[in-house]
Homo-oligomer: A and B are copies of this chain.
């Protein structure tokens, strides 16, 4: 029933995916205002959520709003590894036997219900991750729903490419042999999805739903300090499963604590056959090497580079770049980190601008943003974790001592929440030629390094070497020579990275569109899972076949 109800949407999504054109399956969610958001939050204050098999263990999660500093005060069932794996095993056969259309229908209905409760999800997302309410409605709202729908459409398309049955006839010697054959997609087995603290929905929806559509029971483990939004999504999926007469435990929530993490134990259990992970490069690589019985999909982190060579309009470019550095306080895996400026400065329509002036222009653009509280709040949101703020402060002190500090990471005044954990970007300027060091990998949070370099070619060389060593999720170039853009795109491609050139507009530079933009190439150290290519889907199901001879 759910399948038929959403079939038009599904077909449109599959078509958008085939053409990689601009499309969304979900109408925009109007951001709630701050009091409305708090009302949504209050709905869950003191709640105990049981979103797994029965267990005696519960955890009052350490979820604290980055805006108000108040605890969310929500308790979750916290099954042990054995309990949650037992729940998944118990749900497996019914989920498998439900068939493709029923499972896909459940996925589509769940997405629809999450969308209908979009404002509530945005409120909860904002008060756990620190995302602004705007971003929580788009990046963690419609965009995440679209990425989820994309994965469902990809899974459906992949399973649909194999015919259900065929009559096969061939001559052997002098006789014709006729076989009736059936082909059935079958799930691989229990799947673990590990979400991150700051952006839990965007990666988790595709993983959860790709698993569910292909028939694999899912264990969803959010970050222990950012649980509730994921829990609500799991709750909705469980409701829909129940209404579809399927076991709710086909999707379970697993909650752990920072001190006693459960992910490695679950990922290495022989019963776990699929792991999707979003988080640190260190744990991602560990999973790729150690979850030997599982198909492992990782999206971790890299050092995203920007090469500033030539632009039409420097101010517009600096506004775009300031927005990119500030967006969600630099806590996105697509945030630029290393900005290369050649010795000769940047060529513009108004002539060449010296590097020092470009640096000033960038700092000013950030300062302008920081000085406009309403806009700053909408763009920057807040820092998810206190530790990011501490690390940033320490880093700024060292930069000041080094003489490399360009801009201090100051707070902005949040219009509604004076005690919000706000911060605007730290800028550091280095010249590797005189021995300045760059960090050995990603610096999480709003920190950018302006890198003095000889020229465009040396920038490309340094940046692509960084891609090979540290990985990259998004890479940016400003260059008005289209042939040079081709050559630089080739250089990034050879290093295993995609490239965005000359983004200067109302679109945030790190925007990655579902159905069109591939996210993570799988060809550099920033992870092996691409949203969404066929390799993200193909291994989650396999084909079983039966064939029987038909008597002549």
Contact = CB atoms under 8 A, between A and B. Distances in A.
Interface of A: 18-22, 93, 96, 158, 161-163, 166, 168-170, 172-175, 177, 181-184, 186, 188, 288-289, 292, 312, 482, 485, 489, 492-494, 496-507, 513, 516-518, 521-523, 530, 533-535, 537-539, 542-549, 551
Given A188-B523, A518-B544, 6 more contacts: A182-B489, A183-B518, A312-B551, A500-B548, A504-B549, A518-B543
29 contacts: A18-B161, A19-B163, A20-B166, A21-B166, A22-B168, A158-B534, A173-B506, A181-B517, A182-B489, A183-B518, A184-B493, A186-B521, A188-B522, A288-B292, A485-B546, A489-B546, A498-B546, A499-B545, A500-B547, A502-B548, A517-B545, A517-B547, A523-B542, A523-B544, A533-B543, A534-B534, A534-B537, A535-B538, A538-B538
Contact of A181 (B20, B522, B535, B543): B20
Contact of A507 (B172, B181, B533): B172
A322 B7 CA distance: 51
A318 to B, nearest CB: 16
A505 B183 contact: no
A177 B521 contact: no
Contacts of A551: 312
A482 to B, nearest CB: 8
Contact of A533 (B492, B499, B533, B538): B538
B517 A543 contact: no
A549 B518 CA distance: 17
Given A161-B534, A170-B507, A535-B538, A548 B20 contact: no
A19 B506 contact: no
Nearest to A539: B535
A34 B70 CA distance: 87
Pick the 7 closest A-B CB pairs, nearest first. A535-B538, A501-B548, A489-B546, A172-B506, A22-B170, A538-B538, A289-B292
B542 A506 contact: no
B169 A22 contact: yes
A538 B295 CA distance: 13
Contacts of A161: 18, 534
B498 A20 contact: no
Contact of A505 (B175, B181, B534): B175
B170 A513 contact: yes
Contacts of A186: 493, 496, 521, 523
A168 B24 CA distance: 13
A168 B20 contact: yes
Contact of A534 (B20, B22, B501, B538): B538
A494 B19 contact: no
A479 B534 CA distance: 39
Nearest to A502: B549
A163 B516 CA distance: 10
Contacts of A182: 489
Contacts of A312: 551
B493 A546 contact: yes
Specify which of A172, A181, A504, A548 lies most central, judged by the most chain B CB atoms within 10 Å of its CB.
A548
Contacts of A173: 506
A175 B316 CA distance: 14
B496 A544 contact: yes
A496 B500 CA distance: 44
Contacts of A174: 506
Nearest to A544: B493
Specify which of A18, A93, A288, A501 lies most central, judged by the most chain B CB atoms within 10 Å of its CB.
A501
Given A181-B516, A183-B20, A530 B543 contact: yes
A177 B547 CA distance: 53
A168 B501 CA distance: 14
A265 to B, nearest CB: 18
